[in-house]
Amino acid sequence: MERELNEINVIPLVDVMLVLLVIVLTTATFISTGQVPVELAKAKEASDHKDVPLVITLTSDGHLFLNDQPIVEDGLKAVLNPHPRESVVVVRADRITILERFVGVVDEVRGLGFRQVSLEVVRS
């Protein structure tokens, strides 16, 4: 007894479409995060720290300061070594600072073992 196939099985089609939908939604999330405005100096919410953090200031011309004390070129490691690694580090960067310089400073601080590194912003 042979049956004639006159129906289309849509279950595999629905499975494939659901997988494609998941792929599109996840990639759309990554694409939309790349369209954040470049000027990030202002934020609606900013956290208030109870403890006294180490404040690293990066000026627009590339000079570094630790708690308002100037740091010589390539002297960040020597200045941060005496501090405990559990300290909170806040990086205050001028909004026209070159991104590569900012990332280099944060990378160096994290490379020294500080894990609580954040960026200070102004409430808008």
In this structure, what token pair is assigned to residue 59?
């000026």
Note whether 108 and 100 are within 8 A (CB): no
Domain 42-123 has what CATH class?
alpha beta
Give the pTM: 0.55
pLDDT attached to residue 39? 44
Note whether 101 and 61 are within 8 A (CB): no
Which DSSP string do the residues of 1-62 spell out, in sequence order? -PPP------HHHHHHHHHHHHHHHHHHHHHHHTT--S--SEES--PPPSS--EEEEE-TTS
pLDDT by residue, tens only, the chain of 124 residues: 576 777 888 888 999 999 999 988 887 766 544 433 334 455 556 555 456 788 888 888 878 888 878 888 888 888 888 888 888 888 888 878 777 888 888 888 888 888 888 877 766 5
